[in-house]
Structure 1
Amino acid sequence: MKNIIIILASLLVSLQSYAQTRQLEAHEHGAAMVMMAMEGEKLHLEFEVPSESIVGFEHFPESDKDRMVFASAMALLSTPSNLFGIPDEAECIPVGINVSQTLFSGESKHHEGEHDEHGDEHDESRSDKDDDHEKVGDHDEHKDEIHSEFHASYLWNCHHADDLKAVQTRLMKVFPRIEEVRVQWIVGDLQGAMELENQDGFIRGWN
């Protein structure tokens, strides 16, 4: 288990370093970022996507319907075979799954926007010039509107990693609001990037 954790940590460092060269535009609805790394027998897949593209909303689930949609999405995301197709001949066994979302932090960000708005209203009472500040406050409130994302990370042990020629992504089929998948991959000393717009697109290019 310690070896798996160490390897996973090294893969995460590699992914984050490479991701800096071509980042996903800030919170773009309909676009998902997938990062893949292969090191020895370890395959790591990680992706991030706006909540709107997964569940259709970005606020904290309040209604029964929202909670059901949210729970269904979490269940789908917790089963990697729903989202990615790995060749049987590679004999990859899932050994790590982590799914999270930022809805709580998004709600907190919204409250910060409201606080800024009240501060600008208080300034307005002191001088006419502060009308400009109110406009800035309104702009800040819009800028601080709720945004949230889903993050998922998966780790496999692949007994025949050399037979892993491609990985199929089913994200657009499972979550139809996703219109584009942007991929960054690292396999050994090789790395690459690609964009997928097909529901059954394949991540490939290292062999």
Structure 2
Amino acid sequence: MEFSQLKTDRALAKRVAAGDVEAFDGFFNEYFPRLFRFTMARTGGDADLAEEVVQQTMCKVVRKMGSFRGEALLFTWLCQICRNELASIFRAQGVDGRDTVPFEDVPEIRAALESIAAMPQEPSNQHAASELANFVRVTLAHLPLNYATALELRYIRGCSVAEISRELKISNKAAESVLSRARAAFKEGFRSLWDFEPNFLLD
């Protein structure tokens, strides 16, 4: 499935780079909200900052689209540019970062990555560890905003249910329900996208 997606991504990038307006509209509508969600998790929920970062990222991406070679998923490539843009803004503000944790540092994901790293040091195993982290990022980006936000608050920022309820402005019971549905949606989305069971987290 990943090969098929890479092929699709390369074709889209080529059309956007060539100035195809229809392709650009489709690209923007697909990736702007996903990048916004990705960035919100790294700006402490600052929507204005996240929007600024994503706008700057998209402008830079359009100029660089011709350099996309399809060696990774397009969304992975976009996220790297977005991270660099965010880091530049933080540096300009004299800020090292916010209270967010990379996916690779979530304990359950770290354990999965380390189990792969413990295998014989073959290129395929090293690639698998990198791809696992990418799979998690992309899956989260496919979720509805409230589900993605709830999972990011719980598993990346380590918030309690009470803190999540305050952040989402819902009751504790509703927050528990959202988390439960979000976990189920993540697992189902992961299976659908990548064709294997994400049994390493969210239990």
Bin the TM-score by the shorter chain: under 0.3
Q: What is the TM-score of this pair, normalised by structure 2? A: 0.27
Q: What is the TM-score of this pair, normalised by structure 1? A: 0.27
Which structure has the highest strand share of the two? Answer: 1
